Structure 1
Amino acid sequence: MRTNDLVLISYIEALLDQAGVTHLVLDTHMSVLEGSLGIIPRRILVDSDQAGLARMRLREAGLAKELRET
């Protein structure tokens, strides 16, 4: 998943934490390089062993449109 929406990232992190899904948010410090314009989206990565559970939780929360194909 990729997004520039910081609120959405926080929400997704909370959902994944509740589900016990280990995740990693990448590119959080790229604003230093881009000048805080929000051009570079942040990426949320999940281990392949937990991807099915993560996708299910996000779909249940109505976030299916945010998911990327694997």
Structure 2
Amino acid sequence: MIELLRTNDAVIISFVESLMRDAGIRCFVADSNMSILDGSVGILPRRVMIDGERADEARRILTDAGIANEMR
């Protein structure tokens, strides 16, 4: 798996998960439980991980959705 994006924004993470699910691309949100360490303030970013074989397609989907600036 490779990192598609890293952000603190829960709305963007949810949106990306939805886009990937609709496209049939498996994704995993890493570091989602790290908020326990930062006191639930949201300062530690979470990473959206995807299969490397579908990275180009996933990046194109995010670009089409207007959130390309969030990608790594």
CA distance in 2, matches of 1:30, 1:9: 15
Runs of 4+ in 1 over 3 A off after TM superposition: none
CA distance in 2, matches of 1:31, 1:67: 21
Q: How many residues align?
A: 68
Look up the match of 1:20: 24
Unpaired stretches in structure 1, ≥5 consecutive residues: none
TM-score (norm 2): 0.90
Look up the match of 1:34: 38
Q: Compute the displacement of 1:51 (Å).
A: 0.5
Say which structure is richer in strand.
2
Is 1:54 the counterpart of 2:58? The answer is: yes
Q: Percent identity?
A: 49
SS of the residue corresponding to residue 28 of structure 2 reads strand
